[in-house]
Chain A
Amino acid sequence: MERDARVCVMGEDVGHYGGSYKVTKDLANKYGDLRVLDTPIAENSFTGMAIGAAMTGLRPIVEGMNMGFLLLAFNQISNNCGMLHYTSGGQFTIPVVIRGPGGVGRQLGAEHSQRLESYFQSIPGIQMVACSTPYNAKGLMKAAIRSENPVILFEHVLLYNLKERIPDEEYVLNLEEAEMVRPGEHITILTYSRMRYHVMQAAKTLVNKGYDPEVIDIRSLKPFDLHTIGNSVKKTHRVLIVEECMRTGGIGASLTAAINEYFHDYLDAPVVCLSSQDVPTPYAGTLEEWTVVQPTQIVTAVEQLCR
């Protein structure tokens, strides 16, 4: 925001309140009420407003207070965010960033626990990234803001408290690249967002049992980094996808299809995808735990794949 005066933020409670998860804390004091705009509760309209502002020269960042609320903005995200550059014959660019907290939290109930990446992935013309660490959150955010394409940046409700030492110097990550978390030889585990932590927890157990998993945080949900993923598959010949999306139509489903299409010859076993159950996330803690993938399931899946 300091570097480019055209960058602005719009969303519910982003200004005086500092954001529902304090992502925009104090920015309104620094940059004023117009650059950090508290909007009324009208997702479709203020997302469309951000798009109109982007078409006329600004670079807005739209916050969905919870990503789930952006279901109300689907009209604007699909038709105008994704497609307007094309239908205008390339005349107008839409350099917006749409971001917010999503994913399954701690007993937040079904509607506040949604994974919108599965619904948005078919929209042509948008890019989707998911951050998972303070380091990649900053780098991907900067990249998303500077991109001329509309980018949806998925944050996770349970990851805001992570602490990490990050460089003082400016750095910008590549929107289209995946992140090698842990190199290995036996199996490729592809994951993103919060499930990265369940995978790493499972990895500790697996290492103790003598396995050597390669863990990749795909980060770019659309498009997939087929280079990093492909090189891994060619090395390990076994793929496990661990995601928080529901089984049907999630990122894992698309990733499975892509790997089968491009790297079928390199697979020694079918791609296994661990997803959340196709269930509205229940409120009860025990039920909620059983809807998402837990580290023990990951360990079991790896053991079975590597048999």
Chain B
Amino acid sequence: MTAAATKIIQPLPLNFTNTTARSPDKALFHPLKTTPSSSFPASTHKLRLTKPNSTLARRRSTAVFAVSDVVQEKKPKSNTFHPNLLITKEEGLELYEDMILGRSFEDMCAQMYYRGKMFGFVHLYNGQEAVSTGFIKLLKNEDCIVSTYRDHVHALSKGVPARAVMSELFGKTTGCCRGQGGSMHMFSKEHNVLGGFAFIGEGIPVATGAAFTSKYRREVLKEGDCDHVTLAFFGDGTCNNGQFFECLNMAALWKLPIVFVVENNLWAIGMSHLRATSDPEIWKKGPAFGMPGVHVDGMDVLKVREVAKEAISRARRGEGPTLVECETYRFRGHSLADPDELRDPSEKAHYAARDPITALKKYMVENNLASEAELKAIEKKIDEVVEEAVEFADSSPHPGRSQLLENVFADPRGFGIGPDGKYRCEDPKFTEGTAHV
């Protein structure tokens, strides 16, 4: 084995300006240069959905070009002073609050875990809030989302109450899944959160199925106004998994109303994306299956939101799926059990400087969308929400024995017929949870 083969390959250094670097866009926002003026120059006009400037794109002459105009949203009402801003004040405050909620909640999870209130595998989302907020805040309640084990914040963005998520993490009956799912299985029928999956990739087909239902309702059940969209969130590691490719194929084949959102945080536990992937530019895999592939700065909630608007609108119009690769980063380890020793401190520092919350705050204040005081008030409000969630979870009961056998089957006759001829679920030991199945 040569020395080169055994060297740990670090991700590309920060000043790497080749087009194969993480941000193939000529950096619109260079993290190491502080630009005093507005730093979110996301274009609201032509949204180019592939990268014609990239040398790699030029090499691949079969790259599908999808150039589409951003759907013209209603002109924001209260923006007479700033016609070029991407958000109104209300929208900005909503985005800010959602990201603060995600961050505070996850920080509280870390505290609670180390205090022995939360157990098992807990995967925190710190740093990636722009993706969850940027996408999910554009959805209707009837739209569905599917996530992975890093799912707390997706559930929160979709509207699952913080107390329900916290309770679930504490393993209490008042959790959104009655304490039966845990950190990696957040579900909500009310808010159309279809999970929470522990194995990477296994949620993508489920999301594809939800999108299939949407199309089926429109075309078979003749519910002409059914335009529900599904978002599937997953990471860079998942993009080497068969289910990813199989679902890209089916979604494009049947033009399903789904957006595949890749949260590329460069690391799958300790496996660098670049060590695992022959062609690390995930967005390019979309056109291979006949759908647009987009790369976006996932640390910038406004850029994510602009791309999300177009992708979601495409799906709603019946034009089919989009693959969106969000360049993002997790500030913490893979899970609370991960010592996080492999990642270069300079890489962490680079992304810490691009904290999406700090960036949005800066944008709002500099463009006079909100004052520091207003934002502080939101932070305080969220602190209280999270504290209340913990109190609620703490004071909620643990599941009793009787809960053990409920929910195994939707129809408990599935436990079968006992020796006495009666269905076993009619045996009182079943409701007590003491029966043996």
Contact = CB atoms under 8 A, between A and B. Distances in A.
Q: Does B bind A?
A: yes
Interface of A: 5-6, 8, 32, 34-35, 39-40, 42, 44-58, 75-76, 79-80, 84-95, 124-125, 127, 147-149, 175-177, 220, 222-228, 230, 262-263
Interface stretch (B31-39, B118-126, B174-182): B174-182
A70 to B, nearest CB: 14
A53 B216 contact: yes
Interface stretch (B8-16, B194-202, B267-275, B390-398): B194-202
Query: Which 5 A-B residue pairings sit nearest by Cβ, starting from the closest?
Result: A52-B209, A48-B205, A223-B416, A89-B177, A89-B178
Interface residues of B, number: 62
Nearest to B412: A149
B65 interface: no
Nearest to A233: B419
Nearest to A56: B213
A25 to B, nearest CB: 20
5 contacts: A40-B246, A47-B205, A85-B407, A175-B413, A176-B414
Interface string B197-233: 1110010111111111111110111000000000000
B202 A223 contact: no
Nearest to A8: B216
B414 A5 contact: no
Contacts of B175: 89
Contacts of A88: 177, 180-181, 185, 187, 189, 195-196
Given A40-B246, A45-B205, A220-B416, 4 more contacts: A44-B246, A45-B250, A51-B205, A149-B411
A45 B250 CA distance: 9
Given A52-B194, A176-B413, A176-B417, A125 B408 contact: yes
B249 interface: yes
B177 A223 contact: no
Nearest to B181: A87
Contacts of A90: 178, 406-407, 410
Contact of A48 (B196, B209, B213, B220): B209
B67 interface: no
B216 A49 contact: no
Contact of A226 (B205, B253, B419): B419
Contacts of B188: 91
A176 B408 contact: no
Contacts of B185: 87-88
A46 B417 contact: no
Contacts of A8: 216, 220
B389 interface: no
A230 B180 CA distance: 34
Contacts of B196: 87-88
B84 to A, nearest CB: 40
Contacts of A225: 416-417
Contact of A80 (B179, B202, B211, B415): B202
Given A89-B180, A226-B419, A84 B195 contact: yes
B206 A51 contact: yes
A145 B288 CA distance: 37
Contact of B409 (A45, A51, A85): A85
B421 interface: yes
A45 B246 contact: yes
Contacts of B246: 40, 42, 44-46
Nearest to B182: A87
Nearest to B198: A79
Nearest to A94: B410
Contact of A52 (B199, B210, B219, B424): B210
A160 B416 CA distance: 28
B73 interface: no
A87 B189 CA distance: 13
Contacts of A53: 209-210, 212-213, 216
Most central of B180, B206, B407 by chain A CB within 10 Å: B206
Most central of B181, B188, B406, B423 by chain A CB within 10 Å: B181
A94 B216 CA distance: 17
